[in-house]
Every structure is written in C-alpha cells, then in structure tokens.
Structure 1
Amino acid sequence: MTTVDAIVLAGGRASRMGGVDKPAIVVGGQSMLEAAIGAVAACIRTVVVGPHRPDLGPDIRQVQEVPAGSGPVAAISTGLRALADCDFPADLMVVLAADMPFLTAAAVDALIARAVESGADAVFAADESGRPQYLVGVWRRTTLQNGIERLDAPVNQPMKALIPEHALLMPLTDITDCDTPDDIARARAHATPLSLDQARNVVRHKLSRLPSRRVTLSRAAGAILAEPLTAAEALPRFDVSAMDGYAVSGPEPWRVRRDIGFAGGERPAGLRTGEAVRIATGAHIPEGTEAVVRDEFVRADADGLHRVPDTPIRDDIRRRGEDWRPGDALAPAGTPVSPALLSVAAAAEVYEGLVHGPVHARIVMTGDEIRSEGPLHTGQTRDSIGPVLPDLLSWCGIRSLDRVHLRDTANGFDEVLAQAVDCELLVIVGATGGGAADQLRASLERTGAHLPVHRLRLRPGGSTVVAETRSGTAILGLPGNPFAAVATLLTLAPAIIEGLTGRPPRRAIIGPLHNAADISGPVPRIVPARAAPEGGWTGDPGIRTAHLAGLLDRDGLVIVPAHAENGTSVEFLPLPD
C-alpha cells in the first residue's frame, strides 16, 4: 500500500499583500491554511512550515525554515528534515502552498492516484490556463530528497531547480493561488455563501477572544465567567431549621421552653434530653437538637409536646455544607453573569470573578436616505430600526454604547473602522450588498479586516457579513432592510457573543413547523411564527421585509430548511416582549 505524507508551506513574505499573514486570510469561512490542511487530511503525517500557529492541533507538526521567508525550496527542505525521524518513511510526498482557498481533498487525491498509476517522479497540477503549479504537487519522496541534496544550499532557490525530468502535469480546477488583494477579493466574490450552521461555527472559533479581567460581579451583568465560580463559604454556614416548628431532643413528650429561635437571631441555648424549643425557618438550631418537627406534625397536651400519630418522620434540618462547601465549583467557565449567578455568588460569599466581557456595541446606521428625526424630505425614509436596536441587542446580551449615522461616501467606513477601539462590536445596518452605495466590503478590504463570514445562504439576510478589524473589534454587518436586519441579528448575535467571550453555544429550541411546505424553497428561510396549541409553530408563508409589522402578534422566528416538508423540525428564536 502506498503511503503519503504532506508538507504545507505557510510562511513567505507576502510582499504583494503588504506583508500580511496570507495563509491566515479567510475566504469562504475558512483560512487558506485550513483549506490546505483539509486537503491533505488523509495523509499519514502533515508538517506545516512557517510561523508557529497555536490554533493547530497536536497532530500537525510545525517547523520554521531558517531564515524565515527564504523561499519555498528552503521550506520544503525544512519540512523533509522534520519527517526524517519517521520509522517508516512515506512513499509519496504532497507539497502544497497555503494560498489556494478552494483546494479540496478530491483534487489532492486525484494527484496522488495519478502519481501511483503513472510511476512518475512528480505530478503537478495545471491551472485552467495550463500553467504548471509547482506548489500543488505529489512527489516520490526519494526524488524530492535527492533534488534537495543536489543543491549547494536551498535558501532562495527557485522551484524550477527541483523539478525532475520525469514529471507530469494534471489539469485541475479551483487551484488558482491568491497573491494580491485583488486575488483575495475575487476569491471571496466567488466563494459559496455559508450555511447558518457554518457561519455560527466560524464566528465562534474565528473571532478573537476578549481578554479576561477581574471585576466586582455585581457590576458585570452580561459578562461571561472566564474561570469557574467556587464557593468561599459553606451553604448553609451552620445547621439551620428547614421549617417552622420545634427543635427537639430525646424521646417525646417534650417540654417546651419559653425561648424561641429566630432566623438571624441568637442561637438558642443547648437542648437537654426531653426538651423542645420553638424555632423558625432558617434559625440556627441549638446544640443537642436531634430533629426539627414541623408545626403541623405536633400537638400539645398536659404531658407536653407530642408527634401527631401517623405523620411522616422527617429530619427538617439543613446541615452545614448541605448545598455546597468552601471550594466547591458552583458554575463552570462560560456561565453568563446572570441574576441567578449573582444570587448564587452572594450566597457563597463570592464578590469578585474573572470574566470576559460584557460586549459593548456601537450601532452604525448607513444611507443618505435614512432620517431619524425631523421632517422627511423627498427621497428620504424614517429610521424605523435604529431606535429599537439597543433593546434587541440587550436581549442578545450586548450593551449599546451609542448610535451614529454614516452617509454614503466612498471612504466613510475607513474612519469608523479605525476609531472602533472603544467597543468590542460594531453593528452596521446597511451597505453590505454589492450596490454603488454599499461601501462596507471595500472598506474592510482596504483596512485589512479579517472576514470570517462573507455571505449567508439564508433569505432574507444573504448579504450579512461578520468581520474583525486589525485592532480586534468585531463587526456585524446587517442588511439595511428592517426585517432582514432583525432576523439576522437574532440569528447571529448569540454566536458572536460566544466567540468573543467563550460562552458555550446556547441550547436550540427545536420543534415541528406545521406548514413548512408552504414556506420552504431552494434556500433556507427565516420567517415570523406563532406557537401552535398542539405544540410547535405555524410560520408566515409571506413576509414584507421593509418594516417590522410582520413581527406584531408573533411569538418568534423560525429557521426553515430548504425543501422542508410539513412537520419538519425547525429552530425557534423567541422575540423579546
């Protein structure tokens, strides 16, 4: 059986792209390095040559050529040395440059199959113009090793110095490399829109995690724990009564003392055998207490206090540490700082914690035609979405800082992106399409923003974009259409919070959509829905997207898969009241 290893070249200077980390550029929801690693996933061993990347798994070997950026031949030589300690050297070696966003495992498999059947020393891909792509090839390991050894030094050598005489070319599609910003722009324009699940997963893993900070928890509502919350004190801190009743000692009948134990009051004196003391819920039980008998289970007569016959025998005492003890973990990292968590922290005497967030957002409304206040002039329309976005963001766990309006200018977004250092998120409404006035995407390209989500396979909301500035501010670009903006916000904002803060994905609300066949089409849709009496939902087959009237008297939104049938299980997104 033929064995195959892989060398992925992920360094270089990227001089034609301003020195950016080209393999890390995201096209179609994955970086070009991820595309290359995915294409060689079936290989026994994979070596990535280039700067260390902490996000790569332990199964990927990482090495750096010396000096860094000394050319592909030097990088290949370094990769070969990293594989030299293998007990069973592979027969074939795949060599790939991490600059082809659409390279697939099927393409690599085809090259391997051709190398095996032909017996050639190397098989290289030829692009659609017929040009050889020497950094998309499969080599006989011995041929590659011998070629390296024949050179005086591999540093700054051209790839043609390695090409063997008995090499074949194999035409392949989708192997064009990206060497310039224009190449990246063209690749992104042709990339397949992401499904909603893909977009959410990409956002969760591609956005930069916010730094952790230690804060007073009561002032951190909406933040996410960066470490587990552990108890500082036991709960209860001492043995307390679980019910209103009597603390008793010894067998009945019990002689009732005149003192009473109150919650928060002094602890009653210790009980002697045969004694009982009236006690309230939460009161510290006296020493010597054997049980607390609730009021409805006792009666008094001339002999003293008796347990009512046939009543349950219960020990209504909450023992110290029954709920938790000092050092017990009360909530894992990733838990939101919610009212419930604040209550638990207070009960456990914990007042500070390490958190990510909360996420603060600036809202940017775009378009010359939008007017928020004052009389409308010819061609203008009222801003009907901006005023409600703060409440919608709050529903998603995001705090709004302010709302600004940006007119349609060629470079207006450049300044907005450059100044977005006082917030963790920019929520931009409009300018995400491809029209003459839609300038957001061009600005993201000019400013070198990271673009994990370029488009969605969803209606409405297909033009949605998620990006990250060089300074680390996340960007959620929403369609300008009011319903599309709200629908995609509620769909993607939770995943953005999860990506920025490390909060685990929220549990989806799933149930049947009774009229799914009336709504579904070739592309997934998101529509308003009402809860059905028998469970599940009934969605709106038609929706006007230029306003939010379709959300009135609706319980939420449903995400309807393509070509769904009646009764298909769908995801439900509740609407805030």
Structure 2
Amino acid sequence: MPPSDGPAGPPSDHSPSPGDWLTSLHDDWSDAPAPGERADRADPADRPTGPGVPAAHAGGAPRRPAEPGDRPAAPTGPGPDPADRPTGPGPGVPAAHAGGAPRRPAGPGDRPAAAPDPRPDAPLSGPGRSDRPESHGSDASARPDDSPSEAPRAGGGPSRRPDASSAGGRPGAPQHEAVSWRAARAVATRAGQRGAVRTELLGLGAALGRVLGEPLAALTDLPSFDTSAMDGWAVAGPGPWRIRDGGGILAGHGARAPLPDGEAVRIATGARIPAEVTAVIRSEHAHEAKGLLYAQRSVSQGQDIRPRGQECRSGEILLPAGTVVTPAVLGLAAAAGYDELPVRARPRVDVLVLGDELLTAGLPHDGLIRDALGPMIGPWLHALGAEATPPQRLGDDAEALEKALTGSEADLIVTTGGTAAGPVDHVHRVLDRIGAELLVDGVAVRPGHPMLLARLPSDGPWLVGLPGNPLAAVSGLLTLAGPLLGGLAGRTPDDPYRVAVRDDVHGHPHDTRLVPVVHRAAAGEPGTAGGAEHVVPLHYNGPAMLRGIAAADGLAVVEPGGVRSGTEVEILDLPWASATPWTEGCFT
C-alpha cells in the first residue's frame, strides 16, 4: 500500500480515551514518520522532480551506480510507492531510473519495461482495472494496473490522462489534459446554472428547505392596517383624556368608531387603531385618576403605532428567487398572504453502480468486496438537495450501461467506477458511442483524478462519472456533482472560507489535494470564550478509505506543494456538517 494511504507505522497498543480519538487518528496519520523512520522523511508526492534531481534519488536515499552485469533491483520491504515516482522522458528523469533504482542498459533481446502510473493514489502496475479493487470497498487492497501513463509535467502543470490506446482501454482515444480543480468546479457550476428551470407549487408545510423558484412578492401591505405596537391606551388629541366606557379594543376585531378628541380607550397589542387616534401610551407610562388618564411622560404623534405598509407595500419584492426556504421565510410568506410557494423542483438523479466484484451484503470473500458507494451516494445526493433513485447495479456490462444512459429521464446520472482506461472501464467508450459531450475529462486533484462531467446528446441528462475508490468518489461528489446540483436547484454558491490548519500537510507536486479535516477551537485564556478556530487533518485519507471522511466535517483544499502548520486553507464543508435542521442538507 502506498505510504500516503495507510498508517505511518505498526498499530499501537495505546487505546485513546473517548475524548481524544479524533486526535489519535491524526497523530499517526500518513504524513507522520513511523517508529524507526527518519523524522524528516518526505511524502513521495512531495519529492522534487525535474531538472537537477537525479532519478536514482527518487526514493530518498542514494544508490551506487549500476555496474555491468547488474540485474534490476526488485523493491523489498516498505518503501515509496512506484506510483509516486517520476516516469517517462523529461528533464532530469532518465527513463531507465523510472522505478527509483538504477538499471543496466537495455539489451537487444530485452522487453521494454512497463512505465508505472505516476498518480499518488493509483494502484501498482500490472494487469487489471485501474480504479479497482479499492473501488466501492473501503477495506480492499490494491490491484495491479497495466495502464501506463504520462508523468505530471515538470513546472507544475496538470497531469494528463493516460492514452487508452496503449493501455487496453479506448482504442485510438486521444490524451486529455486534466483541468485544474477550481476550473472543474467552475465548469460544473456554470453547467448547472444553464439547466432548464422547473418549478412546482408546494404548501407552506412542505416547502421547508426548498429553494424559491420565483421572487417572493407581497400580496398585501404589511401590516395591512394601522395596529397598536403595545398594550396600553389609544388617545386622541392632547391630555389629560377622558376614559371611554364600554371596554377596550382587542386584536382580531373589526374597525371601531373614530375616537373623539380628548378621549382614551384601552387597546391590546396588534389591535386595529380607530380613526383619529394620535398615539398609544403604554400601560406603565400612564395612570388613572377620577375618570381621567394622565401620561407620565411626553406623548409624540404616532408613538407605538405600526402604520399600514410599514414593513412592505403590496407587490413589493420581499425575497429573490434562489432563497432557501427557512422557518423565517415561511413566516414571512404566510404574513404576506401566501398559502403555497413556487419552489425549484429538486433535481432527479439516477445512480448507476458499476463493477462485477461488488457484494451488497455479507463479508468480502473470494476476491469480492462490499459495495461502499451504493449505500452512500443516494443519501449524499439527497444532502445536496437532489431526489436520487435507488442505485442500479449494472456490473461491468457495457450494453447495460448504454441502455441505462439512453433510457434515463433524470436531470443527472451519477456512475461509480469505470472512468479510467482499464479493459472493463466502459464509461468513456459508451459515452463516445452515444455521442455525449465531455466537458471535464480528468481533474488535477488527489484523490479523484479520473472523474468526468459529460452531457448526453439532444439536451439529455448531465453525467458525473465518479472514480471507484470511495474517497476519490467523495472528491468527485464535492468537485463536480455538488456545484452542478447547486446550479440545477437554483442555489447561490456559498462564499469560500479559510481556516488555519493545525499541522503541516504534504501536497502533490502538481495537483490539488483534498484532505479530510475536523474543526477544533484552541483552548482560550482563562475567563475568555475560547481560542481561534483551526482544522486538524485526519488519518486514513487514502483514495480507497472512508474512515477519515467518516470522522470529518470538511475537506481541506491543499494547493500543490503542501502547506505549513498555521497556514489558512480553503475548507469544503460536508453537506450535513453546516446544515441547519430544516435544510435539504440533513437526513430527515
């Protein structure tokens, strides 16, 4: 297993106390040196490549020069994942040293060595599917991959997708340059915003958490008549005032006769103000004596009266389209005269689970693994504001995939697995065959590099292809599916925010990393409310793992090269972590 995917040493006998289990996940996470390792050991993804860095040192330790008759050294014991070593022709990276150890010059009868995959989250080289068997199963080990690919370009450029024609994948398919993570999110957001707008009318009781499909215009003045703002006395003219017999004015009653000058009448909060009333005097600011009412302080014209239309006039726009319907919005809508609200219809999503190796129940056995994505994707999409159908399990059947795609009536199709270039990775081939348009084909992000975004022909559904590795699929959900669904649902994108990270976080040389984190507040000084907020990176952040993300409340966006402790990083909230109880981001 690559060093970035697993614990940084053997399990400890120490059992953390209930209060520090999240911290213990961090304390032995993959960027920390294991017992017996040098403390300054660098993550393979952070090792420099390119000019001036001999490939023989790619593993972090010098080796003697190759001598005639030497056989290529086979890797032994724990060490850097070949997937993280530079490969292919390029400045300072001799092809003979691609594996990190010197090799003898090729002989006339030698077969060319297969180039290892440069992706930090890729499995080891060998035959098979490029995003399996970690795909869908959080407890799987790496399966070999025989798909050679080009190393990330020197100078910090994004990496390229492998040429499938040399990988047993899509014959003759061109290389596609992976777009940056931010560019991919922007493409997905714009795509969703260009989607057709569908609205529906829902009763106030059913509209909670939805998004207004039209501006909310007042159907009446608010308030619709002059009302008393306080319990007290309605008075007309200057005082003292004669107290009118016959009881007071209560809320909910019709208009009373005009109040003559020099008279006062008791009035309740919310009651309609009679004509000719000049002010309301609060009960505690007046006293009675011999049938007269005296004010204990000066009285101004219109005091404690809410005039008609004070809050809004009929026809005035109260809220714009795209506003999330909160309890306060429901109250405003009711006050403004609404019984139903026009809201955006929730996007409909079909979920297609690919892979012959997946089990839906029981323990893994005989090379089969549990499907971790099928149970997770639907609720995650619901938390993003979508209406997801139960997952369809298609195995590795290209014909079944094509039938499911061309027969879908959803707004969005989400596939899991099959997005790379292995022999049973059918997503690209089927999309080519049906004439789909690829908007994003590979993203410079780890994990999740082979995600894609497409539009099916004739203005058909959008398609987000997720990698099969579980955490890589989460990366695809937050990178492509979330922004796309936000646009389709009419939601306004949240402003990004940044929080300091507690510890050093290693980065990829060229790609963005998404690292599970948990928010914490440092202990404050005595007598204060607390310290500054920060995030703690969590362990178990390999592409095939879910343990870290299950304990997280967000993902840190780590730029290429990594960040030092104390640096502020952008945070992607998980859809339920920042959700209030009434929004679509909860599981009720």
Same fold (TM over 0.5): yes
Residue 479 in structure 1 maps to residue 478 in structure 2: no
Distance 1:417 1:290, change over 3 A: same
Residue 373 in structure 1 maps to residue 378 in structure 2: no
Residue 191 in structure 1 maps to residue 189 in structure 2: no
Q: 1: CA distance between counterparts of 2:372 and 2:243?
A: 70
Q: 2: CA distance between counterparts of 1:349 and 1:301?
A: 44
- Once superposed, what is the RMSD of the aligned Cα atoms? 3.3
1:419-466: CA deviation from partner (whole Å, max 9, x where unpaired): 111x11112222222223322122111111121111111111212111
Pick one of 312, 320, 325 that aligns with 1:332.
320
Pick one of 264, 268, 273 that aligns with 1:276.
264
Shift of residue 299 of structure 1? 4.2
Residue 469 in structure 1 maps to residue 466 in structure 2: no
Residue 446 in structure 1 maps to residue 433 in structure 2: yes
- In structure 1, the residue matched to 2:557 is 559
Q: What is the TM-score when the length of structure 1 is the normalising length?
A: 0.60
Contact 2:199 2:344 in 1 (8 A): no
Letter in 2 for 1:190: Q
Pick one of 538, 543, 549 that aligns with 2:540.
543
Q: 2: CA distance between counterparts of 1:377 and 1:553?
A: 27
- In structure 2, the residue matched to 1:204 is 189
Contact 1:232 1:350 in 2 (8 A): yes
Q: 1: CA distance between counterparts of 2:446 and 2:379?
A: 24
Q: 2: CA distance between counterparts of 1:414 and 1:504?
A: 34
Q: 2: CA distance between counterparts of 1:249 and 1:187?
A: 91
Pick one of 283, 286, 292 that aligns with 2:280.
292
Q: 1: CA distance between counterparts of 2:462 and 2:354?
A: 18
Q: 2: CA distance between counterparts of 1:296 and 1:381?
A: 74
- In structure 2, the residue matched to 1:425 is 412
Distance 1:445 1:231, change over 3 A: same
3-state SS, counterpart of residue 378 of structure 1: coil
Contact 2:518 2:538 in 1 (8 A): no
Give the percent of matched residue pairs that are identical in Structure 1 and Structure 2: 36
1:125-147: CA deviation from partner (whole Å, max 9, x where unpaired): xxxxxxxxxxxxxxxxxxxxxxx
Distance 1:490 1:536, change over 3 A: farther
Letter in 1 for 2:320: P
Which of structures 1 and 2 has the larger relative contact order (alpha carbons within 8 angstroms, sep 6+)? Answer: 2
3-state SS, counterpart of residue 277 of structure 1: strand
Q: 2: CA distance between counterparts of 1:285 and 1:356?
A: 40
Distance 1:518 1:243, change over 3 A: same
Shift of residue 196 of structure 1? 2.2
Letter in 2 for 1:240: T
Map 1:20-99 to 2 at 5 A.
none
Q: 2: CA distance between counterparts of 1:486 and 1:256?
A: 72
Q: Which has the higher strand share?
A: 1
Shift of residue 285 of structure 1? 2.1
- In structure 2, the residue matched to 1:234 is 221
Q: Which has the higher helix share?
A: 1
Contact 2:358 2:370 in 1 (8 A): yes
Q: 1: CA distance between counterparts of 2:499 and 2:302?
A: 42
Shift of residue 496 of structure 1? 0.3
1:530-577: CA deviation from partner (whole Å, max 9, x where unpaired): 223233422316434434322344332222222334343322233315
Contact 1:188 1:454 in 2 (8 A): no
Gapped runs of 5+ residues in structure 2?
A: 1-163, 522-530, 578-588
1:113-133: CA deviation from partner (whole Å, max 9, x where unpaired): xxxxxxxxxxxxxxxxxxxxx
Map 1:499-518 to 2 at 5 A.
499-515=487-503, 517-518=504-505
Map 1:251-330 to 2 at 5 A.
251-257=238-244, 258-302=246-290, 304-309=292-297, 315-330=303-318
Contact 1:247 1:277 in 2 (8 A): yes
Contact 1:519 1:541 in 2 (8 A): no
Contact 2:500 2:567 in 1 (8 A): yes
Letter in 2 for 1:554: A
3-state SS, counterpart of residue 233 of structure 1: coil
Q: 1: CA distance between counterparts of 2:213 and 2:401?
A: 33
- In structure 2, the residue matched to 1:117 is none
Shift of residue 475 of structure 1? 1.3
Shift of residue 514 of structure 1? 3.6
Shift of residue 310 of structure 1? 8.6
Distance 1:213 1:526, change over 3 A: closer
- In structure 1, the residue matched to 2:87 is none
Contact 2:180 2:444 in 1 (8 A): yes
Distance 1:264 1:303, change over 3 A: closer
Map 1:10-29 to 2 at 5 A.
none
Q: 1: CA distance between counterparts of 2:378 and 2:253?
A: 46
Shift of residue 340 of structure 1? 4.5
3-state SS, counterpart of residue 493 of structure 1: helix
Larger CA deviation: 288-297 vs 408-417: 288-297
- In structure 1, the residue matched to 2:569 is 570
Q: 1: CA distance between counterparts of 2:268 and 2:482?
A: 45
Larger CA deviation: 480-489 vs 209-218: 209-218
Shift of residue 289 of structure 1? 2.4
Distance 1:373 1:338, change over 3 A: farther
Q: 2: CA distance between counterparts of 1:538 and 1:247?
A: 58
Contact 2:215 2:318 in 1 (8 A): yes
Distance 1:206 1:214, change over 3 A: closer
Q: 2: CA distance between counterparts of 1:186 and 1:310?
A: 90
Q: 2: CA distance between counterparts of 1:186 and 1:331?
A: 53
